[in-house]
Amino acid sequence: MLEIGFSFQEGMAVGLFVAIMLFESLFPFRKQLGRWRHFGKNALFAAINSGVTGLATAGMNIWLFIWMEENGIGLLNLWEIPFWAAALVASLSFDMWLYWWHRLNHVAPFLWRFHQVHHNDTTMDMSTALRFHPGEIVLSSIINVVVIVVLGVSIEMMVVYKLIFNVNVLFHHSNVVLSDRWDRWYRFFLVSPNMHRVHHSRRMVETNSNYASGLALWDRLFGSYRERDPDEIVFGLEYDRSEDEQKWLYLLKRPFRPKGRPASKRD
């Protein structure tokens, strides 16, 4: 059952990944040079991270969900409530947690050392959603396990949430153009491409905004929402902009070579 759940999630993610990639080709927000080279570099991070998390946490996660279910571990297991209600509470709680974890990655200097590898991409497209340093993936995987246990999230809840979450993360990183009207409708509920493009701006005051990855309401609720004309945005950071600084090996070593201003310093 657990293996089927994870396989379904991964299969759907791959299918939707291909669909979004097709939309990027047909309706691009910006013309891209060297698109496949850029994709290959970011996909290499995804491959390594999948291996790291697969070796380190896959078996543990399966055991963890079984242990939680058999022993009634977590807040959601303290009361008899319908599955749909528990799934809703779990999704909202976990999504809000991810907002604050993301925000902490911009504020804490040690966490920013790893997270900046995601932000120093000077070209933003769907593959940017794959560009995370293995160190950040390990740290987030460990802390997320703690949150899952405290909440008592079931495997079924996590599969549904992660499927929706992963698709939306791929979409709002994508180089797909939406009309202003459709983008505004979209970000009334979920983080839209134009909303997240602000977060990937070279201007640090904009980098330190729009932290949400799922529901867009968290930024409005916690005062970190910001808008800007997406056509004026320059992606990346104030540093790491040369061709050598965009090479894969440099990015892998990046957290151990502090450079630039802390993310918490606003313009």
Domain presence at residue 266: no
d(CA 146, CA 142): 7
Domain presence at residue 265: no
Contact of 225 with 209, CB cutoff 8 Å: yes
Domain presence at residue 267: no
Beta bridge partners of 235: 201
Residue among 148, 174, 150, 173 nearest 161 (CA): 148
Domain presence at residue 117: yes
The per-residue pLDDT for range 118-142, each reduced to its tens digit, is: 999 999 999 999 999 999 998 998 8
The per-residue pLDDT for range 51-104, each reduced to its tens digit, is: 877 666 665 667 777 787 778 888 888 888 898 898 899 999 999 999 999 999
Distance from the first to the final alpha carbon of the chain: 50
Domain presence at residue 264: no
Domain presence at residue 177: yes
Q: Of 29-43, 50-64, 156-170, 225-239, which range is least confident?
A: 50-64
d(CA 264, CA 258): 15
Contact of 74 with 149, CB cutoff 8 Å: yes
Residue 234 scores a pLDDT above 80: yes
The per-residue pLDDT for range 239-254, each reduced to its tens digit, is: 999 999 999 899 999 9
Residues 6+ apart with CB under 8 A from 57: 141, 145
What's the chain's average pLDDT?
A: 87
d(CA 195, CA 212): 10
Cα three-residue angle 35-27-213, rounded to 5 degrees: 80
Domain span at residue 21? 2-256
Q: Please count the structural domains in the chain.
A: 1
Domain presence at residue 95: yes
Confidence of residue 230 (pLDDT cuts 50, 70, 90): very high
Confidence of residue 3 (pLDDT cuts 50, 70, 90): very low
Contact of 27 with 179, CB cutoff 8 Å: no
Domain presence at residue 201: yes
Residue with tokens 């779990």: 90
d(CA 59, CA 66): 11
Q: Which helix (H) or strand (E) holds 249?
A: helix 248-253
Contact of 125 with 174, CB cutoff 8 Å: yes
Confidence of residue 255 (pLDDT cuts 50, 70, 90): very high
